[in-house]
Amino acid sequence: MDMIEMAREIGRTLQKDERYIRATADAQLVNASEELKQMISDFDEIRAKMEFEMAQAKGKANDAIMDLDEQINEHYNRINSHPLMINYEASRKELEALVNYMMRIITSSANGEDPDSILEEDECTGSCSTCGGCH
């Protein structure tokens, strides 16, 4: 099996993993929720009003902009505190952590590290500026 076919097999295996299945199912629930669709639509409408007001005010804050900013924050918090969104965010982060770990194994291996020595708890952020150094 060549490297590309192995990568495709990893992709197929990932799509069978419980974390992928859970994140996909949670995303479908979010997308099917009429309540969330309305909340997001309301948020988008307020954001569009905000952009219009900011263009009219030429970037200077006024009472209307401050009121719209408060409304945006309230809607954003309501959307993100919805149980479906909370579940989706949790499952998405879990899947993302798995994919990041897989990528870290591949990248570190390409840089000459032993793939078996790369541990999940290494917590590489991908940014060298936050790193104490590679092992």
122 in any annotated domain: no
**Over 70: is that where the pLDDT of 131 sits?**
no
Confidence band, pLDDT 50/70/90 cuts, at residue 135: very low
Q: CA dist 8 to 1, 2, 110, 116, Å?
A: 11, 10, 18, 21
83 in any annotated domain: yes
How many domains does the chain contain in total?
A: 1
Give the tens place of pLDDT for each residue, 58-88: 867 788 889 999 999 999 999 999 999 999 9
Query: What pLDDT score does 57 carry?
Result: 83
pTM: 0.76
11 in any annotated domain: no
**Over 60: is that where the pLDDT of 134 sits?**
no
Owning domain of residue 87: 35-109
57 in any annotated domain: yes
27 in any annotated domain: no
Nearest to 102 by CA among 2, 5, 7: 7
